[in-house]
Structure 1
Amino acid sequence: MPELNGITVHPDCRHFRGDVPCRPNKEHGYQCADCPVYAPVRQRILIIKLGAIGDVIRTTPLLRRLRQEYPNAFITWLTHTPAILPAGEVDEILKLELSAVLHLQARQFDLLFNLDKDKEACALLGSIKADQKFGYQLRPTDGVAWPVNELANHKFLTGVFDQLSLQNTKPYVQEIFELCDYDFRGEEYLFDNHQDKGYAWDALPFGKHVGLNTGCGDRWTTRLWSDEKWIALISQLQQAGYTPVLLGGTAEDERNRRLHDATGAAYLGTFPLEQFINLMHQMDLIVTQVTMAMHISIALRKPTVLINNIFNPYEFDLYGRGQIVQPDRQCVCFYRGSCKLGTSCMEDLPADKVMAAVEASFPSNL
């Protein structure tokens, strides 16, 4: 073991910092020579999954398998959104910026998983040293993403050919596991519900809470359900004895205020991400479209009624909690931001159909 000036040092310990005292030293005065909590790292693993937030969330099941396969591993995760990751489950969370890149390029890893086809992510896979690499790399002659090995072929091809994407019957999480050379065994998300943060929800009415996430982002607006449909659903929920709660961010604030004024459905406003997550945690069931809130709902293990039209429904695994509902008219706008027919098929999704899914999915013990 290394010694400096006759003093034993354990740089391979998961507690060792190198630039400042480790926590065991700071809190208990332990030194490496006789430290009772010495924990040598056996493998060093890097995950590159930059964003968006929902994609980062739905990649966290991989952590469960890695901890099972490598209980003594030190796991590093590089991302655009460090705050969304469960800090207690990842040893080192780095934000994509120059200082982190320089740091990673000077290190050696046993396993490197790049799960993004962003050019910067693919370039990093090529410039960071690792014994085994999985996922996507940069094809130097063309500057485009390319599979590192045949394990990545399926996920790569469904991302570049709509025909193959439409034929796919594998959920995203299964595809990610297979890309990393694992079989998917139903591993759940790893996620923080922020219940320990002391958030108070005194303004939340009592009842069987059905959260209604009314937005879908601004990239694929063909997913939007009209105010009239939401009002019809809210009315049915209220008549059946449920307590609808309007959810969303700043982009949904105006719509949610309109819906509140029209129906009296509870609307508590907009909140920072952690607080919004905790508000969703108060719900008994969540109705949402394919957006960040959907991933949060699944991660919180909430029964989820997923409204979908433009995506392959096989992509989404609700873990047996909830249902996917789609318009009565077949959608012809796969992954399109505007409707080819001029009128979105979402107008052919009746509130009755969503209501039936809510009643079928609502927890029987509430």
Structure 2
Amino acid sequence: MKHPLPARPAHIAILRLSALGDVCNLVPTVRALQRQWPDVRITWIIGKGEHSLLTGLSGVEFVVYDKSTGLAGMRAIWRQLAETHFDVLLHMQQALRASVLSLGLKADVRVGYDKARAKDAQHWFTHRQIAPRDRAHVLESFMDFARLLGVEDTRPRWDLPIPEAARSEARRITGEADYALISPCANPRLRNFRNWSAEGYAGVIEHLWSRYGLKSVLTGGGSAQEREMGERIRGLVGDEAVVDAIGASSLKGLLALIDAARLVIAPDSGPVHMANALGRPTVGLYATTNPQRAAPYCWRDYVVDRYPDAVRTYLHKRPESITWGQRVRHPDAMSLIHADDVIARIEQVLALGSSDRDAGVPR
């Protein structure tokens, strides 16, 4: 017998710890739940860095789990929520760590992914599963949880909060200049292979400067890999056309920098999804991950898509024959993207009028 779903939940738990792009793609599901039930209480169990990005999100109570604390951190959350009972737990993290964390939460019904999408045997930890769906974008996979609960209005909206302190932080970096924002590096974890070349970015920066007088603000974390990329780009283009702000902003400050940019250019990483959430023109660079699954949702038509070429070249397979979302883990895959590809997309998004840019891009 299936566990019954609540007709009008009073308290919903969301379990999604990471990552930055994914939590941005989950926010529209939160907004859809709030539209359906304006008085619903939502508690989101989230990772530490992801919370620093979304803190202040209206109508949401956050419980922060620092993954570095391991089981001790889980026990602390279980104690914190010992007297809290949820009508439904939306288990939206396909990872064994999250499933273990879910065991200490009290909920009438636990909803997870369908078996085909449930990694790390997540379906063993849930009572109900969302309906199977082939070839879904990440945002739509999250929205399927709301659909299962009976939500019909699934228009994507974000309304991400940006405090004035973050805007001041951004202005200290950029002044009043008009600029494009480039986040050249994805997460520097092992075998990620999502980074484009410094030479490619240099060609794009020179085009933006010579044709539009737009400076390029480089952003990113403080890792050695990211700082080295910034130095290499600056060495190729000089300081006149570029502001190197890698490692210089908080996550809220980055959000403010993105919000004030004319356009955003980045590989598959948090900044393209942050830009999408803010309605900023976004050019995503994709070769190692499938943009049909993970492109900036409202700017899917403007990605540079070399993923099919990478699948053929480095996996030696036809794109339609591989599993949905399979990555091309080859260090040369991003070299299939050329500066002219990116410049062509830049020309397209900059040619859009303000009404065109805003159409279909809810914030």
TM-score interval, normalised by the smaller of the two chains: 0.7 to 0.9
Once the two structures are superposed, the pairs formed by residues 329-348 of structure 1 within 5 Å of their partners are 330-332=309-311, 335-336=326-327, 338-339=329-330, 344-348=332-336
Amino acid at match of 1:112: L
Shift of 1:335: 4.5
Shift of 1:281: 2.0
Task: Provide the rounded CA distance (Å) in 2 between the counterparts of 1:73 and 1:317.
Answer: 28
Shift of 1:254: 2.1
Task: Provide the rounded CA distance (Å) in 2 between the counterparts of 1:88 and 1:271.
Answer: 20
1:44 paired residue among 11, 15, 39? 11
| Contact 1:303-1:361 within 8 A present in 2 as well | yes
Q: Which residue of 2 aligns with 1:201?
A: 171
Say yes or no: does 1:131 pair with 2:74.
no
| Contact 1:137-1:145 within 8 A present in 2 as well | no
Q: Which residue of 1 aligns with 2:81?
A: 104
Once the two structures are superposed, the pairs formed by residues 262-273 of structure 1 within 5 Å of their partners are 262-263=236-237, 264=239, 265-269=242-246, 270-273=248-251
Task: Provide the rounded CA distance (Å) in 2 between the counterparts of 1:237 and 1:91.
Answer: 39
Taking a change above 3 Å as real, the CA distance of residues 351 and 125 of structure 1, as seen in their structure-2 partners, is same
Q: Which residue of 2 aligns with 1:247?
A: 219
Task: Provide the rounded CA distance (Å) in 2 between the counterparts of 1:360 and 1:171.
Answer: 23
Say yes or no: does 1:327 pair with 2:296.
no
Taking a change above 3 Å as real, the CA distance of residues 44 and 200 of structure 1, as seen in their structure-2 partners, is closer
Q: Which residue of 2 aligns with 1:22?
A: none
| Contact 1:186-1:319 within 8 A present in 2 as well | no
Amino acid at match of 1:300: L
Q: Deviations over 1:2-54 (max 9, x none)?
A: xxxxxxxxxxxxxxxxxxxxxxxxxxxxxxxxxxxxxxx97111111111232
Shift of 1:178: 1.2
Q: Which residue of 1 aligns with 2:44?
A: 77
Shift of 1:287: 0.4
Gapped regions of structure 1 (runs ≥ 5): 1-40, 156-167
| Contact 1:76-1:90 within 8 A present in 2 as well | no
Say yes or no: does 1:212 pair with 2:191.
no
Stretch of structure 1 that moved more, 43-52 or 312-321: 312-321
Amino acid at match of 1:218: P
Task: Provide the rounded CA distance (Å) in 1 between the counterparts of 2:302 and 2:230.
Answer: 24
Amino acid at match of 1:285: L
Taking a change above 3 Å as real, the CA distance of residues 267 and 171 of structure 1, as seen in their structure-2 partners, is same
Shift of 1:221: 3.6
Task: Provide the rounded CA distance (Å) in 2 between the counterparts of 1:350 and 1:42.
Answer: 50
Shift of 1:268: 3.3
Q: Which residue of 2 aligns with 1:14?
A: none
Which SS does the other structure have where 2:123 is aligned?
strand
Q: Which residue of 1 aligns with 2:235?
A: 261
Say yes or no: does 1:174 pair with 2:146.
no
Which SS does the other structure have where 1:66 is aligned?
helix
Stretch of structure 1 that moved more, 314-323 or 261-270: 314-323
Say yes or no: does 1:95 pair with 2:61.
no
Q: Which residue of 2 aligns with 1:364?
A: 353
Task: Provide the rounded CA distance (Å) in 2 between the counterparts of 1:70 and 1:328.
Answer: 40
Amino acid at match of 1:229: G
Shift of 1:230: 1.3
Percent identity, aligned pairs only, is 21
2:199 paired residue among 228, 232, 246? 228
Amino acid at match of 1:266: V
TM-score, with length taken from structure 1: 0.74
| Contact 2:266-2:283 within 8 A present in 1 as well | yes
Task: Provide the rounded CA distance (Å) in 1 between the counterparts of 2:165 and 2:57.
Answer: 14
| Contact 2:273-2:296 within 8 A present in 1 as well | no
| Contact 1:305-1:354 within 8 A present in 2 as well | yes
Higher RCO by CA contacts (8 Å cutoff, separation 6 or greater): 2
2:155 paired residue among 183, 186, 190? 186
Q: Deviations over 1:89-112 (max 9, x none)?
A: 244211123222223243211121
When Rg is computed on C-alpha atoms for both structures, the one with the higher figure is: 1
| Contact 1:76-1:94 within 8 A present in 2 as well | yes
Say yes or no: does 1:61 pair with 2:28.
yes
Task: Provide the rounded CA distance (Å) in 2 between the counterparts of 1:58 and 1:261.
Answer: 35
Shift of 1:257: 2.3
Shift of 1:149: 5.6
Q: Which residue of 2 aligns with 1:287?
A: 265
Taking a change above 3 Å as real, the CA distance of residues 200 and 320 of structure 1, as seen in their structure-2 partners, is closer
| Contact 2:112-2:128 within 8 A present in 1 as well | no
Q: Deviations over 1:205-235 (max 9, x none)?
A: 6554211111012234422211111111112
Which SS does the other structure have where 1:93 is aligned?
strand
Gapped regions of structure 2 (runs ≥ 5): 1-7, 66-72, 316-324, 358-363
Amino acid at match of 2:163: H
Which SS does the other structure have where 1:106 is aligned?
coil
Shift of 1:289: 0.5
